[in-house]
Amino acid sequence: MKLSKYIDHTLLKADATHEQLQKLCEEAKEYDFKSVCINPCNIPYCKNLLRGSDVLVCTVIGFPLGAMSIESKCYEAYDAIERGADEVDMVLNIGRLKEKDRNYVTEEIRRVKQTVKDHTLKVIIETCLLTDEEKVLACECILDAGADFVKTSTGFSTGGATFDDVKLLKDTVGDRCFIKAAGGVRTKEDFRKMIELGANRIGTSSGTKLV
């Protein structure tokens, strides 16, 4: 796979404007990225800008804290798909995970996956807030719930993707689901290393520099 197709070209800042989103989509088409990753209110605008290209529209739900109710996340996911999203990145309930409430976390992911159906679901576990044991538990819940990806980070907490985390996630999930490394991947060296360690997708706002 060409390197550009590993990249979810990302703009999730609260102050993102239509002008900035237009630039994001133009870059995504020019560099042939896999997707643009944007906030839900911007789905129709970006979907229209990307019409005729193979660049996907990815959005986030339960973002960035993951502390919404399951019902809220399901509706947000449903609304995102209705508006034209191709992929959904959800933040799991980090507090429930740290309490080791496997049933809650698995059920939450399962219900969102049932909502998005055959659309790709990536589950953000916010690795910077977790112990290694909790990261493994999160992966087990994701696998049990049938999601498509485990994703390291929102990029809005205390840290982003690390080499150690990507290796741990790969060792845990193997080939049973995919891995998205997000947050802090800004150099070509980091980009290639993440892929070598097992990342199938890279979430970054530095995509044009990386390719």
Residue with tokens 């507090």: 95
CA 35 to chain centre: 11
Q: Which of 8, 89, 148, 165 is catalytic?
A: 89
The reply to whether the predicted model has a pTM over 0.85 is yes
Q: CA 80, CA 20: separation in Å to the nearest integer?
A: 20
Q: What is the pLDDT along the chain (211 residues), one digit of tens a residue?
A: 899 999 999 999 999 999 999 999 999 999 999 999 999 999 999 999 999 999 999 999 999 999 999 999 999 999 999 999 999 999 999 999 999 999 999 999 999 999 999 999 999 999 999 999 999 999 999 999 999 999 999 999 999 999 999 999 999 999 999 999 999 999 999 999 999 999 999 999 999 999 8
**Percentages of the chain per state (helix, strand, coil), in multiples of 5:** 50, 20, 35
Structure tokens at 54: 């193979």
CA 52 to each of CA 7, 21, 49, 58, 173: distance values in angstroms, whole numbers, following the listed order: 19, 17, 9, 16, 35
**Strand, helix or coil for residue 205:** coil
pLDDT at site 205: 95
Does 132 qualify as catalytic in the annotation? no
Closest CA to 39 of 79, 63, 12, 67: 12
pLDDT at site 1: 83
Q: What are phi and psi of 203, to 5 degrees?
A: -95, 120
Non-local (6+) Cβ contacts of 90 within 8 A are: 60, 61, 62, 63, 66, 73, 77, 109, 112, 121, 122, 123, 124
Does 73 qualify as catalytic in the annotation? no
Does 13 qualify as catalytic in the annotation? no
Give the Cβ contact number of residue 152 at 10 Å. Answer: 28
Q: What amino acid is encoded at 125 in this protein?
A: I
Q: Tell which CATH classification among 3.40.50.920, 3.20.20.70, 3.50.50.60, 3.30.260.10 matches the domain 3-210.
A: 3.20.20.70
Q: Which of 8, 47, 180, 190 is catalytic?
A: 180
Q: Which of 34, 151, 165, 190 is catalytic?
A: 151
Helix (H) or strand (E) holding 181: strand 178-182
